[in-house]
């Protein structure tokens, strides 16, 4: 597995927009098209494709919002692995690669995400990596989780 992150652009837009999760996961995340539309309205968002070599396997969207909290918050707000690529270890690997990218790009030790409390598979994945619930709930009713990148393995490649 050789995961890389590529910015969403005209060259990869078609293959990224075609990504779909399993039907039983559709209530947990917006479609890629909805994410891209949201990113077009807010320049903070960074939509990206997740690739194993040249094969598209997933999508993520992240941002830094300086107006949140004392010094701003970095969000790993959207993450999906396409239905046909699930169960192959891409989810965990993608989160780890994304955490490194977020640290390099923004320099923040604390990274946030949100998850519905009945999304047990995602919660187990995030907890395995080191995310913990913060006790906060977002505007859509999702529970916030955060990781503190104190450990070098999350920062370095």
Catalytic residues: 126
Q: Tell me the residue ranges of DSSP E strands in 23-102.
A: 46-52, 55-65, 73-81
Query: How far are the Cα atoms of 31, 69, 81, 151 from residue 23, in angstroms, in the given order?
Result: 12, 35, 13, 36
* For the chain, counts of helices (H) and of strands (E): 5, 7
Q: Which three-class secondary structure state does DSSP give residue 30?
A: coil
Q: Is 152 exposed, middle or buried (0-12, 13-18, 19+ CB in 10 A)?
A: exposed
Q: Is 84 exposed, middle or buried (0-12, 13-18, 19+ CB in 10 A)?
A: exposed
What does the alpha-carbon distance between residue 79 and residue 17 come to, in Å, rounded to a whole number? Answer: 13
């Amino acid at each position: 597995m050789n995961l890389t992150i590529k910015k969403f652009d005209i060259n990869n837009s078609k293959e990224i927009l075609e990504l779909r999760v399993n039907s039983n996961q559709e209530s947990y995340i917006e479609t890629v098209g909805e994410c891209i539309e949201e990113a077009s309205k807010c320049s903070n968002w960074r939509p990206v494709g997740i690739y194993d070599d040249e094969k598209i396997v997933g999508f993520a969207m992240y941002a830094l919002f300086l107006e949140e909290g004392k010094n701003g918050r970095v969000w790993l707000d959207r993450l999906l692995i396409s239905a046909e690529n699930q169960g192959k270890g891409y989810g965990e690997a993608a989160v780890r690669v994304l955490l490194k990218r977020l640290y390099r790009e923004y320099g923040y030790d604390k990274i946030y995400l949100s998850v519905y409390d009945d999304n047990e598979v995602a919660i187990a994945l995030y907890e395995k990596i080191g995310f913990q619930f913060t006790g906060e709930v977002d505007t859509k009713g999702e529970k916030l989780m955060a990781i503190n990148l104190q450990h070098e393995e999350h920062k370095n490649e």
